[in-house]
């Protein structure tokens, strides 16, 4: 399957596709018609004989057609660290992974605590015309955790939520003020839940593996302590709190109990936390040095249970490009973080292939649920909505090889992992922006 990338939207019809729309529960063979930038029609009544004669027809050959993925946790690196990633390289990696909308953290240089940086990112993304890019605004100026940023102004120019990115907001009074402030815009404060003093100087999950390797450990309690504190503050302020990349059983249980009490709390996790455990660190493998760290097997299983019962609201890639120099160091000195845009779908589909979640439930965590969390116009197959969608082969096996990835940085924790499920085509606003051609 080889396509040229479209420069402008046109009338395009998919036929003979397995239509999957988690928002409506649609799972049927049929077709989808795109006119310009929007979906004009979708359903089992669309066939090669019934689509308009002027439409370009693509025979999906029974493969899955679903909304493009919505990734709510991506580190861009541009502006400021273009040697790790650029908006262009991140956009190419995203489209290759089936991500049509992504929300970037504010930890760029300069920090996204100023309206001009929000506008810069939005302008650059529009010019590139690849995956749509939305931004978080910083909660505190310079991500320093002290003085609140101008969240109202940032919201007016497009910030969809607020976070201090990879830095936890450690000061409880600052978090209380932030929740109060964001409540007036009904926007989320997203927290990196890791108590700073407990995580400081840690390299990996505290436990037997860390002891055997002689590495300093980060106790899992660092996560739940922050989660429980912020749940109390959300209850106090009636603010909306969101916890990013949950990795421990205790934190999942805390959010589950809070939801039952009616606290406005949500959370996400990332593929490393349900597909890997601390043993992936192996023989000081720095690509497996992540933040939060990979946990014990019981935590990994608890995260899967949280995905299955709806406690965890979304799966995000937690894409964190690092340069080769930053990773090719002794484990204790290497940088935290792993890339994930191009493996997001394939690794998440393991939940389906292993019988842990139905297919529509897996896709729901990657499409309409993250879109709804941040109020994005994405994640659904319906008439009149933006034509952001992907065609993928549910069964095609492949092996992750870092040198084949489009991301400028190659620090994937899934290197050489066999996976099943390949994105064949990605469409953004009616334009084909990626096609798998091997």
What DSSP line would sit under 201-268, residue for residue?
A: T--EESSHHHHHHT--EE-THHHHHHHHHHHHHHHHHT-EEEE-S---HHHHHHHHHHHHTT--EEEE
Name the 3-class secondary structure at 335: coil
The residues, any chain, with a CB within 8 Å of residue 204's CB and separated by 6 or more, are 210, 213, 215, 217, 218, 278, 281, 289, 293, 294, 331
The number of residues in the chain equals: 438
Cα distances (Å, whole numbers) of residue 88 to 40, 63, 409? 29, 28, 13
With 0-12 / 13-18 / 19 or more C-beta atoms within 10 angstroms meaning exposed / middle / buried, residue 381 is buried
Residue from 113, 268, 318, 393 carrying the catalytic annotation: 318
Specify the DSSP element, H or E, that contains 272: helix 272-275
Query: Tokens 């620090």 appear where?
Result: 411
318 is catalytic: yes
| Inter-residue contact 20 to 29 (CB < 8 Å) | no
Q: Which of 120, 125, 126 is nearest to 90 (CA)?
A: 125
How many angstroms separate the CA atoms of 349 and 271, rounded?
Answer: 10
With 0-12 / 13-18 / 19 or more C-beta atoms within 10 angstroms meaning exposed / middle / buried, residue 418 is exposed
Beta-bridge partners for 100: none
How many angstroms separate the CA atoms of 54 and 51, rounded?
Answer: 9
Name the 3-class secondary structure at 47: coil
Dihedral over alpha carbons 105, 270, 38, 127 (to 10 degrees):
30
How many angstroms separate the CA atoms of 394 and 392, rounded?
Answer: 6
Distance of CA 349 to the CA centre of its chain: 14
Just list the catalytic residues. 318
């Amino acid at each position: 399957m080889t396509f040229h990338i479209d420069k402008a939207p046109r009338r395009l019809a998919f036929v003979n596709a397995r239509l999957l729309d988690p928002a409506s529960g649609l799972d049927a063979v049929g077709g989808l018609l795109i006119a310009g930038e929007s979906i004009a029609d979708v359903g089992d009544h669309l066939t090669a004989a019934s689509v308009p004669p002027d439409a370009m027809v693509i025979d999906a050959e029974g493969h899955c057609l679903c909304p493009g993925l919505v990734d709510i946790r991506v580190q861009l690196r541009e502006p400021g660290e273009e040697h790790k990633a650029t908006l262009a390289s991140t956009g190419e990696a995203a489209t290759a992974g089936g991500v049509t909308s992504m929300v970037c953290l504010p930890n760029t240089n300069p920090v996204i605590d100023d309206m001009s940086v929000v506008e810069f990112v939005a302008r650059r993304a529009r010019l590139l015309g690849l995956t749509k890019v939305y931004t978080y605004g910083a909660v505190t100026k310079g991500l320093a955790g002290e003085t609140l940023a101008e969240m109202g102004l940032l919201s007016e120019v497009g910030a969809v939520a607020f976070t201090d990115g990879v830095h936890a907001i450690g000061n409880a009074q600052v978090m209380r003020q932030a929740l109060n402030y964001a409540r007036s815009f009904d926007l989320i404060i997203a927290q990196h839940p890791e108590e700073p003093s407990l995580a400081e100087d840690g390299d990996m999950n505290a436990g037997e593996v860390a002891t055997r390797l002689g590495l300093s450990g980060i106790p899992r309690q660092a996560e739940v302590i922050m989660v429980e504190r912020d749940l109390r503050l959300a209850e106090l302020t009636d603010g909306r709190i969101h916890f990013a990349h949950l990795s421990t059983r205790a934190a999942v249980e805390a959010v589950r109990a809070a939801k039952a009490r009616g606290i406005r709390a949500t959370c996400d996790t990332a593929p490393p936390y349900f597909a890997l455990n601390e043993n992936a660190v192996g023989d000081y493998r720095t690509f497996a040095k992540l933040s939060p760290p990979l946990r014990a097997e019981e935590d990994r299983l608890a995260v899967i249970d949280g995905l299955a019962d709806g406690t965890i609201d979304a799966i995000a890639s937690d894409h964190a490009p690092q340069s080769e120099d930053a990773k090719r160091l002794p484990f204790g000195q290497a940088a935290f973080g792993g890339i994930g845009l191009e493996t997001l779908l394939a690794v998440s589909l393991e939940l389906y292939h292993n019988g842990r979640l139905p297919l529509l439930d897996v896709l729901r965590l990657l499409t309409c649920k993250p879109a709804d969390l941040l109020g994005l116009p994405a994640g659904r197959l319906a008439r009149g909505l933006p034509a952001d969608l992907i065609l993928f082969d549910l069964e095609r096996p492949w092996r992750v090889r870092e040198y084949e990835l489009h991301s400028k940085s190659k620090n994937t924790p899934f290197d050489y992992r066999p996976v099943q499920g390949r994105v064949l085509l990605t469409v953004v606003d009616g334009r084909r922006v990626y096609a798998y051609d091997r």
